[in-house]
Structure 1
Amino acid sequence: MKKFVSILLVCFLISGCARQEIIDRIKILQCVSFDVQGDLFKSSGAYASYQKKERLRLITAEAETFSGVWLPQNTKSDHQIVTGQIRTFVISEKFARKSIQALAMGLLRDQSVSNNVTIVISKQEISTIMSEALKNPPFYLSDLIKQNMEKGSTPLTNAHFMLDQYYGEGQDVYLPVVDQDEKGLIHMDGVGVFYEDKLRLLLTDKESFLLRLLKEKSKTMTGAYEFRGRENEVYNIRILHGKRNISYKEKDSVIISLKLYIQLKELPKAKNVIRKSDLLELQHDIEQHFTSEISDMLKKFQMNAVDPIGFGELYRSNHRNWNEQEYKNKTYPNIKFEVNSEVIISQTGVGIGAE
């Protein structure tokens, strides 16, 4: 009994020392944007307004340092600003092309910001993206990004991945891109790839999906994909699951093997999957398409001296005398890629091929 009383007393003492943060007496930032203007960092933070009719409200600030924006934001707030629940960082394309060094250092040093926070590049002005986000539920932007990483064409990434790519050797940073359509709706629009700390290359939505296939594990290798064939006919398929393997055959030769299990959704009218010859031809055309598109994308990476796949990291793990600059300047530009695509049509869809 005395032991139980002692434990209960300790619990009371511990709880009494804990810092209380009442929900309606703090401002919990959920989405933060960053832009640059000259030598200044411009930031906007969206927070839930529990005492107002608005779902989200903005608080803005400027500072000469990246982490310094929190101080002027606090001076404009009637309650303490809390950063522990931030789900999304939005950076302008101008910010990304200038340098993300301050962003990487800020994330590394600020332990209150989760490693799961997603970072996206905005093609539009930051103010228009944030204004549109305010019209939606509190976690709309982070949920949009998450959904496209799980089911769409956006490869998985977050602050943890970005910091590993930025500070690690043999790989380059890539971040998702958001844009707005003619009606102002926010949508995912490919991926931005960095050379060192500057944005160098913007990938299309299709290339973003191919990057995802080469980066992710077999369990998450799913999603819809549409392309035009040799005669401009439209193919719409769904990847159910797959496997990929990347290995160095020699010092300057890399073999990429891709095996995809797919479902046929929409096919050219001239094709009939009931006929075995047509089914085999479809299978061959889809395999050739993936082989060609991935090969072209890898050549684009070499031409721009970027390595979002991480071929350098794989090379470093197999070579004791690793030198990053020598690899970037001599080895990587001369690598010959051999892409082998295998497609297994697991499902043809109800009614496809029927006359």
Structure 2
Amino acid sequence: MKRYILTGLMLCSLLLTSCAEPRLLDELNISQAAGFDLLEDGEMKGFFVFPVFKSQEQGSYQILSAKSNTISNIQFLVSEESPFPVVMGQVLVILVSEKLAKEVGMIDLMNYIYRDPIIGSRQVFAIVGGEVEELLYTKMNQTNLNIGVYLSDMLAQNMRNGNEPVTNQHIFMNQMLAKGVDAYLPYIKKTSSAIKVSGVALFDQEKMVGHIPAEETFTFKAMIENHKNGIYEFRFHDKWKTHVVIENIKSRVSYHIKPTENLTKKPHITIDIKLKGELKEFMKSKKIDKPSILDHVEKEVEKRVAQQGQDLVQSFKKQNIDPLGLGLRYRSKDKAVTPEKWKSIYPDADVQVKCHMKIVQTGVSQ
């Protein structure tokens, strides 16, 4: 009996596999990166980056582009220029110009990507300050990677070791559709000699409304996720203009929410950031061999991070956005508050940011 069952299962398997249309990798143009600009006439210009395999040259790639009002037609038109169909099954990064993100928004692009079954959900979206076309045609020095892989590695490294918050398509889509939180993405720019991560792009639903500059991303990341690594630097207002660099070893954040019995009163939320770090640089004539100096540095970091966090909260309120997800957090404590009610009380919410800094190592250059 077991033999008959096993034979039947094998036959079913053969029948099922024979129904699928085979697609050979050698007969596809598999894009590793894609990007989209908004043109003056309202059309979009799309770009697809493909690896070109040459026996004696690594990192070769080709960029194909087309213009249309829809993303699906852009992909179709690009395929017309290629000997093989264009697919996005291995796309690592998708770039969107700031103009497109602000004027049109992300919803059509996200729906197209989300509905395509061969595209995964772990690739990273990034907003480009300027034109995607100019950035993609940047010639990178001292690397044999194609531009798509380079950008993907750059973003992953900044999320893992730097001050950029962790995100991907899955996280961004959830934030964009959820009630009580607004989305954010990496914000990158081309400089005169390189491409760099320049901050965090902020969204109101599907449209970009602004960005956090790079010098404030350490604090923003510390407010939304527990993480390791990252750099925080500042200068004292002393006669030496002492330059201080703290390397984060561990960051932990907790939210303390006090629901109000009467919704006419302000809700209270405390964001408590705990930092442990290493003092990497302390450019000053005096040696840092006194506990009082370390205590002074710790208190200065606490004051600056807390104030920077407070300023970010006020900025978010003015823009009527909630990238910290305060609405979701508050409503988890008070089920009676609807998303609409939270929007009305959010501008007046009492949000306090506190920071506690502990320097655990002093590998200092002086």
Q: Secondary structure at the match of 1:160?
A: helix
Q: Does 1:255 align with 2:270?
A: yes
More displaced stretch, 126-135 vs 76-85 = 126-135
CA distance in 2, matches of 1:18, 1:274: 71
Does the CA-based 8 Å contact 2:45-2:65 persist in structure 1?
A: yes
- Residue of structure 1 aligned with 2:293, choices 259, 263, 278: 278
Q: Does 1:298 align with 2:317?
A: no
Cα gap change, 1:250/1:16 in structure 2, threshold over 3 Å: closer, same or farther?
A: closer
The one-character-per-residue Cα deviations of 1:17-67 (angstroms, maximum 9, x if unpaired) are 554443332101000001122332210000112269671101112222233
Q: Secondary structure at the match of 2:250?
A: strand
Structure 1 portions without partners, runs of 5+: none
The one-character-per-residue Cα deviations of 1:243-280 (angstroms, maximum 9, x if unpaired) are 11012134422111111111001114155432122222
CA distance in 1, matches of 2:313, 2:65: 40
- Residue of structure 2 aligned with 1:166, choices 157, 176, 193: 176
Name 2:341's counterpart in structure 1.
326
- Residue of structure 2 aligned with 1:137, choices 145, 161, 178: 145
Does the CA-based 8 Å contact 1:24-1:50 persist in structure 2?
A: no
TM-score (norm 1): 0.90
CA distance in 1, matches of 2:139, 2:197: 14
Name 2:232's counterpart in structure 1.
225
CA distance in 1, matches of 2:252, 2:95: 32
**What CA RMSD, in Å, does the superposition of the two structures yield over aligned residues?**
2.5
CA distance in 2, matches of 1:66, 1:255: 43
Name 1:24's counterpart in structure 2.
26
TM-score (norm 2): 0.87
CA distance in 2, matches of 1:327, 1:18: 49
Cα gap change, 1:307/1:271 in structure 2, threshold over 3 Å: closer, same or farther?
A: farther
Does the CA-based 8 Å contact 2:47-2:64 persist in structure 1?
A: yes
- Residue of structure 1 aligned with 2:93, choices 79, 88, 91: 88
User: What pairs with 1:177-188 in structure 2 (closer than 5 Å)?
Assistant: 177-183=187-193, 185-188=194-197
Does the CA-based 8 Å contact 1:59-1:73 persist in structure 2?
A: yes
CA distance in 2, matches of 1:234, 1:352: 11
Q: Does 1:70 align with 2:79?
A: no
Q: Does 1:61 align with 2:66?
A: yes
- Which letter maps to 2:248? I
- Which letter maps to 2:108? A
- Residue of structure 2 aligned with 1:124, choices 123, 126, 130: 130
Does the CA-based 8 Å contact 2:245-2:279 persist in structure 1?
A: yes
More displaced stretch, 31-40 vs 148-157 = 31-40
CA distance in 2, matches of 1:105, 1:68: 15
Name 2:219's counterpart in structure 1.
210
Cα gap change, 1:5/1:290 in structure 2, threshold over 3 Å: closer, same or farther?
A: closer
- How many residues matched? 348
Does the CA-based 8 Å contact 1:84-1:113 persist in structure 2?
A: yes
Q: Secondary structure at the match of 1:267?
A: strand
Does the CA-based 8 Å contact 1:56-1:134 persist in structure 2?
A: no
Give the drift of 1:171.
0.7
